[in-house]
Chain A
Amino acid sequence: NAGVTQTPKFQVLKTGQSMTLQCAQDMNHNSMYWYRQDPGMGLRLIYYSASEGTTDKGEVPNGYNVSRLNKREFSLRLESAAPSQTSVYFCASSELWGGGRTDTQYFGPGTRLTVL
């Protein structure tokens, strides 16, 4: 049982390049999330998928797209990377997305992305 896995662990891009961050969970969770973490800013939600087949914008969605490929996998795509997207990206999953209910989130190890 690996929990939440993310690839790659590290990535360096040049401005304008594109890439996809991969995330998978083996806990049969319904909901999945993508966050970015910048120094002093905490975790900010980029996109989430409450259940398979749905995706919604979070607090900071500009410059990103997502795909919920199946129940296990949720990918994040940067179409044209910018230096402002230099950050650590975390994927997370939870069993439920119950409206206002807070459900425990399980996080992956993160992807450290640098955009030059």
Chain B
Amino acid sequence: GQSLEQPSEVTAVEGAIVQINCTYQTSGFYGLSWYQQHDGGAPTFLSYNALDGLEETGRFSSFLSRSDSYGYLLLQELQMKDSASYFCAEPLASGGSYIPTFGRGTSLIVHP
């Protein structure tokens, strides 16, 4: 089954705050990354959490709770340009190494 679970779609209005959740596999956990991808574009890195707590980068913040195997991406003061897909990712153990593994993505739709 999918080791990273995130909602398939989230909608919000311009100016609001939205949270995108991600639950992950706990075995050998090293950290959780977040990437943004606009339609037809390349994924771009947003943030990374290795330890519990909040990491803030401008309007975007990412949170991690290792005890709950859970993280989220928080987007504040939403703008139309934030409409995109958001992926959480972690390295998963495979055959003696680690493979970067992505969730299936959350499509964020921002309405005016």
Q: Considering only CB atoms, which chain B residue lies closest to A104 in the complex?
A: B45
How far does the Cβ of A16 sit from chain B's closest Cβ, in whole Å? 28
Contact of A105 among B32, B50, B99, B100 (CB under 8 A): B100
B101:A45 contact, CB within 8 angstroms:
yes
Question: Which residues from B are CB-within-8-Å of A45?
Answer: 99-101
B45:A40 contact, CB within 8 angstroms:
no
A42 at the interface (CB under 8 A from B): yes
Measured in the bound complex, the distance between the Cα atoms of B44 and A71 in whole Å is: 22
Size category, A interface: 20 to 34
How far does the Cβ of A77 sit from chain B's closest Cβ, in whole Å? 20
Question: Which residues from A are CB-within-8-Å of B8?
Answer: 40
Q: Mark A29-41, 1 if CB is under 8 A from B, else 0.
A: 0000100000011
User: Can you give 23 A-B contacts (C-beta < 8 A)?
Assistant: A4-B42, A33-B100, A42-B102, A42-B104, A42-B105, A43-B87, A45-B99, A45-B100, A48-B99, A50-B97, A59-B101, A99-B97, A100-B28, A100-B93, A102-B32, A102-B91, A104-B48, A105-B43, A106-B45, A107-B42, A109-B41, A109-B42, A110-B42
Interface set of B (CB-CB < 8 Å, partner A)? 8, 28, 30-33, 35, 41-45, 48, 50, 87, 89-91, 93-95, 97-105
A-B pairs with lowest CB-CB distance, top 9: A107-B42, A100-B30, A42-B104, A43-B102, A42-B102, A102-B31, A104-B45, A100-B98, A107-B43
